[in-house]
Structure formats: C-alpha cells, structure tokens
C-alpha cells in the first residue's frame, strides 16, 4: 500500500508568536495555518457572523475597547473547518490563511474587495501621509531639494509672500526648501487637514523663486533672482495594506481627487437618538478607541457624540463595543470578487449575504441523536469436551467393517431395496 492509500490523518494545534495566534491543521500530506494577529483585529465580528461552524466567538469587546489586552475573537479549534472564510472576508487582514499541499486554487474562493490607490492625478504632496491615522502611507519625493541645486546665497535680497487663500498646505515647498515650515496639528475627524499653517523663515530664504515655480497652487510670490531651472515635482506614495483600514482620511484631505478608494462595504452608520442621550464620553471612550476610522467626536452642538459618517467602513466594531447601543450599522453591499461555481459556492454566498441580512444558515443538528457504540462483547474461550482416543479407535474399526460391507454389491442391493 502506497502512502496515498493510507487513510489520511488530520490533527489540529495552536501556537502563539507575539501578537499572532497560529491555528494549524496538519495532515500527513498538507498543512494549513490560520494566522490571527489580534492586535490588528478591530473586533468587528464579521468573522464570527460568517463562520459556518460557529468556531469563532467574540471576546469581551467592551473591555478590550476600554483598555483590556485580549484577543477580540476567540477560537474553538475543534469546530474550525479551516475553510478560510474568516481570512478572505476580514476587512483589515487580521486573519490570514497559509497553505501547503494540494488545496484548491485561491481564485476558486471569493475575497473581500477593497482598495486605496493613488491615481495619476497625484502630484504627489504630503497631505495624505501626514493625515493617515494608521501610518499606512509612505511618501517618497524623487526630485532634488533646493540645497542640492541652488545652495543658499548669503545676503540675497528680495521679497516672498504666501497667498493663504490659495495655499492648500500640501507641504511640497517645505520638503523642497528649509525656509518653509509646516506647522503641524492633530487632525480631527471633522477637519482632517494635518497642518495648521505654512510659515516662511526669511533668514533661510535667498529669494531664488524656485518655490514659486514648483508650488502647484501658485500660492507663493517671490521677487528675486532665479539661479537655475526649477525641478519638476515627482515622487511616489505607497499604501501598506497591512496597516490601512480603508477609512478614507487620505481621500478626505487630498486636494487633487487622487485617491481611488473602494471600501469593503457600503451602507449606513445610524445613530439612535434616544441612546445618544445615554452616551457618556467622559467615562467611556470605547467607540473612539475601537473605531479603525477614528470617526467619533464630541460635537459642539451639545449632543453627547457624533460621527464623521463619510469615514465609516461599516465594519460594526463600534456596535460591538458600545455599552449603550448608541449606533447601528446597516450594510447595503459587500464588495467582493466573483464567487466561482464550486461545491462551496452556496456556503460562501450565504456567508456574504449574512453580512447584509444578519441571518446565517447553519446546519441544524439539534435533532441528531448520539448513541454510544456498543462495546465489543468479551470473547470467552470455550472448553472442549474430552475425547477418549481408545474409544474412537474402536469406533473406527467398526466403521471399516461397515464400509467393507456396503462395498459388496449383493449387500448393497439389499440395502437399497430389500430387507436386511
């Protein structure tokens, strides 16, 4: 019997590496690892809702949102099927499935579809990088700084003026020349621009006019002498998908409509007025802490709490965390890749649909009866009767006699028909 013909054995194990909980399914011919980074997890509970076997359970989210260090989602490894629905549909890639062995191709399963990408309208400038609450955006300018092409001329004379009506605080000038300083500030959900003001230090300025040329908004006026041709603004912006939560702050601050943003879900964040009254933003900051979009704020109109709705990703973490049910989420669409025609299509369809309907169809085993297997009956050796060998020899003698008799045709005739 070759290896392939041996019945396959499957076992499960668990391991912890830092903030990662590793759940493993190991067989003699393959391995699957479900890698759960609990620090990345926002506690939205989407995986809990879709899990086909209820292997996942939401942890103490309210406590976690208010400071407790624990995984927001707990796993009953016995129940897990390693189907990877949780991984494929996690909006923040807190779960990841790694496989080794002959498993169906990845493209036979749907994935949640989302995207933050900078398009050709990107200048680039410094706003999104500075505004990103997750530190997920890296900006790299690729044009030379002023120092490199026109070193500071001492005692130069001229004038410089910033038109604050035109300046959008994009920060390109500040990267280019040390004479500019962006005065930073804490971005707010209601006003996400990360800079307060652009300041010019005229001590550092030699009125070279190059800043006037590179400013995309034509907001700088300089009287002076141009030492050389101005550089063309260039660079690239990269988004780290592992950090990005698709909250859309970058989109909110971008003056150039350069962010292609596709959120994983569409829908509505609804604040329930009568519960808003019960909200205590002094004592509780659960939603503030848990929201991956950082969209909650205390408004000035006297209400206890308000949200910058445009930033919502409709993940529902706040709903799980709020002790007084201030908000609810009504998802209207799940963006996902196509569901291929496979034996598991119907289950995946249902999982995705349950994110809209909140009803997940699961196998109903409530009537199933459990009956213990009958134990094998104990085998008791049977005692044989004693056999008298001498006696049996005598029996054999007699039989031989009879056998001789029936071989005689005359006797046989009598045996068949006549009288003995």
Partner 1 sequence: MRIGVYICHCGLNIANVINMDALHRKVGEMKDVALVKDIQFMCSDFGQEQLIEDIKENNIDRILVAACTPKLHETTFKRVLEKAGINPYLLEIANIREQCSWVHMHNQNMATRKAFDLIKMGVAKLKLLAPLQIRKFKANRDVLVIGGGVAGIEAALTLADAGTHVHMVEKEPTIGGKMALLNEVFPTNDCSICVLAPKMTDVQNHPNIEMRTYSEITDISGSVGNFTVKGIRQPRYVMVDRCKGCIDQCSNVCPVEIPNPFDSGLGKTKAINMPIPQAVPQSAYINNEYCVGCGLCKQACPADAIDFNLKEEEFSFTVGAVIVATGYQGFDAKRKEEYGYSVYPDVLTNMELERLLNASGPTRGKVVVPSTGEKPKKVAFIQCVGSRDETVDNPYCSRVCCMSSMKNAQMIKERYPDADVTIHYIDIRAAGEMYEEYYVRTQLMGINFIRGKVAEVQLDPQGQMQLRYEDTLECAIHEEPYDLVVLATGIEASTTSDPIAKMLNLTKRADRFLSIAHPKMRPVDAHINGVFIAGCASGPKEIQASIAQGSAAAARSTRLLAKGELENDPFSAYVDPEKCIGCRICEDTCNFNTIKVINGKAVVDEISCQTCGSCSASCPTDAITMPHSTDEQIIAQIRAALEVKDEFPLIIAFLCSWCSYGSADLAGTSRIQYPTNVRIIKVMCAGRVDPDFVLEALQRGADGVLVTGCRLDECHYILGNLDAKHRMENLKEVLDEIGLDPRRLRLQWISAAEGDKFAKTIEDFVDELTELGPVGSELPEVQE
Concatenated DSSP letters of 183-196: EE---BTTB---EE
Contact of 328 with 275, CB cutoff 8 Å: no
CB of 42 to partner 1, least distance (A): 24
Residue 103 sits in the site that holds partner 1 (CB under 8 A): yes
Choose one: 39-47, 83-91, 200-208, 246-254; the region binding partner 1 (CB under 8 A).
83-91
Angle at CA of residue 365, ends 359 and 369, nearest 5°: 165
Q: Residues in contact with partner 1, total (CB under 8 A)?
A: 41
CB of 43 to partner 1, least distance (A): 24
Choose which of 85, 87, 179, 352 interacts with partner 1 (CB under 8 A).
Answer: 85
Which residue in 279, 250, 248, 171 sits closest to 215, CA to CA? 171
Residue 348 sits in the site that holds partner 1 (CB under 8 A): yes
Residue 112 sits in the site that holds partner 1 (CB under 8 A): no
CB of 94 to partner 1, least distance (A): 20
Question: Omega into 130 within 30° of 0, i.e. cis?
Answer: no
Residue 369 sits in the site that holds partner 1 (CB under 8 A): yes
389-406 and 409-416 helices cross at what angle (nearest 10)? 90
CB of 315 to partner 1, least distance (A): 23
Of 80 and 319, nearer to partner 1 (C-beta) is 80
Residue 400 sits in the site that holds partner 1 (CB under 8 A): no
CB of 47 to partner 1, least distance (A): 13
Instruction: For residues 14 and 77, give the distance between their C-alpha atoms in angstroms, rounded to a whole number.
Output: 8
Choose which of 165, 232, 371, 380 interacts with partner 1 (CB under 8 A).
Answer: 371
Instruction: For residues 109 and 337, give the distance between their C-alpha atoms in angstroms, rounded to a whole number.
Output: 8
Instruction: For residues 93 and 88, give the distance between their C-alpha atoms in angstroms, rounded to a whole number.
Output: 8
Concatenated DSSP letters of 391-409: HHHHHHHHHHHHHHHHTSH
Residue 337 sits in the site that holds partner 1 (CB under 8 A): no
For residue 169, give the 3-state DSSP assignment.
coil
Concatenated DSSP letters of 82-131: ---HHHHT-TT--EEEEEESS---GGGS--B--EEEE-TT----SHHHHH
Residues 53-72 that bind partner 1 (CB under 8 A): 53
Choose which of 104, 242, 299, 405 interacts with partner 1 (CB under 8 A).
Answer: 104
Task: Look up tokens 């996690």; give the residue.
Answer: 90
Residue 10 sits in the site that holds partner 1 (CB under 8 A): yes
Concatenated DSSP letters of 214-261: H-TT--EEEES---SPPPPP-EEEEE-TTT-----HHHHH-TT--EEE
Half-sphere CA count of 306, side-chain side, radius 13 A: 11
Instruction: For residues 384 and 387, give the distance between their C-alpha atoms in angstroms, rounded to a whole number.
Output: 9
Residue 349 sits in the site that holds partner 1 (CB under 8 A): no
Residues 201-230 that bind partner 1 (CB under 8 A): none
CB of 380 to partner 1, least distance (A): 24
For residue 378, give the 3-state DSSP assignment.
coil
Residue 7 sits in the site that holds partner 1 (CB under 8 A): yes
Instruction: For residues 259 and 116, give the distance between their C-alpha atoms in angstroms, rounded to a whole number.
Output: 7
Residue 154 sits in the site that holds partner 1 (CB under 8 A): no
CB of 293 to partner 1, least distance (A): 31
Choose one: 230-238, 239-247, 270-278, 342-350; the region binding partner 1 (CB under 8 A).
342-350
Residue 375 sits in the site that holds partner 1 (CB under 8 A): no
Structure tokens given for 173:
């000038």
Choose which of 228, 368, 376, 420 interacts with partner 1 (CB under 8 A).
Answer: 368
Choose one: 81-89, 240-248, 262-270, 323-331; the region binding partner 1 (CB under 8 A).
81-89
Choose one: 22-30, 68-76, 246-254, 388-396; the region binding partner 1 (CB under 8 A).
22-30
Residue 364 sits in the site that holds partner 1 (CB under 8 A): yes
Interacting residue ranges for partner 1, rule: CB under 8 A: 4-5, 7-8, 10, 27, 29-30, 52-53, 80-85, 101-104, 108-109, 341-348, 363-371, 373-374
């Amino acid at each position: 019997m070759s290896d392939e013909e041996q019945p396959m054995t499957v076992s499960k194990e668990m391991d912890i590496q830092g903030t990662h909980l590793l759940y493993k399914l190991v067989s003699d011919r393959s391995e699957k690892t479900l890698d759960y980074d609990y620090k990345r997890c926002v506690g939205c509970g989407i995986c809990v809702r879709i899990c086909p076997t209820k292997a996942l359970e939401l942890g103490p989210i309210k406590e976690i949102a208010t400071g407790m260090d624990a995984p927001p989602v707990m796993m009953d490894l016995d129940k897990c099927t390693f189907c990877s629905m949780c991984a494929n549909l996690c909006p923040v890639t807190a779960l990841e499935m790694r496989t080794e062995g002959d498993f169906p191709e990845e493209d036979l399963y749907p994935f949640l579809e989302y995207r933050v990408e900078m398009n050709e309208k990107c200048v680039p400038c410094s706003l999104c990088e500075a505004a990103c609450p997750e530190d997920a955006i890296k900006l790299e300018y690729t044009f030379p700084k002023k120092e490199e092409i026109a070193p500071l001329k001492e005692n130069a004379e001229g004038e410089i003026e910033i038109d604050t009506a035109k300046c959008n605080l994009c920060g390109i000038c500040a990267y280019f020349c040390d004479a500019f300083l962006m005065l930073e500030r804490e971005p707010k959900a209601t006003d996400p621009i990360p800079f307060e003001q652009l300041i010019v230090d005229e001590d550092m300025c030699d009125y070279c006019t190059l800043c006037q040329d590179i400013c995309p908004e034509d907001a700088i006026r300089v009287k002076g002498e141009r030492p050389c041709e101005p550089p063309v603004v260039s660079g690239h912006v990269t988004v780290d998908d592992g950090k990005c939560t698709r909250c859309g702050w970058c989109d909110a601050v971008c003056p150039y409509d350069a962010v292609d943003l596709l959120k994983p879900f569409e829908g509505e964040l609804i604040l329930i007025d009568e519960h808003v009254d019960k909200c205590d933003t002094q004592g509780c900051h659960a939603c503030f802490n848990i929201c991956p979009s950082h969209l909650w704020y205390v408004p000035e109109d006297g209400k206890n709490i308000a949200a910058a709705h445009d930033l919502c990703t409709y993940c529902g973490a706040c709903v799980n965390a709020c002790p007084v049910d201030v908000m609810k989420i009504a998802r209207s669409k799940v963006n996902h890749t196509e569901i291929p025609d496979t034996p598991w299509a119907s289950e995946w369809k249902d999982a995705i649909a349950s994110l809209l309907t909140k009803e997940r169809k699961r196998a109903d085993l409530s009537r199933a009866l459990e009956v213990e297997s009958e134990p094998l009956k104990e085998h008791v050796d049977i005692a044989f009767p004693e056999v008298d060998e001498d006696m049996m020899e005598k029996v054999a003698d007699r039989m031989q006699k009879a056998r001789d008799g029936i071989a005689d045709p005359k006797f046989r005739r009598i045996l068949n028909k006549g009288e003995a």
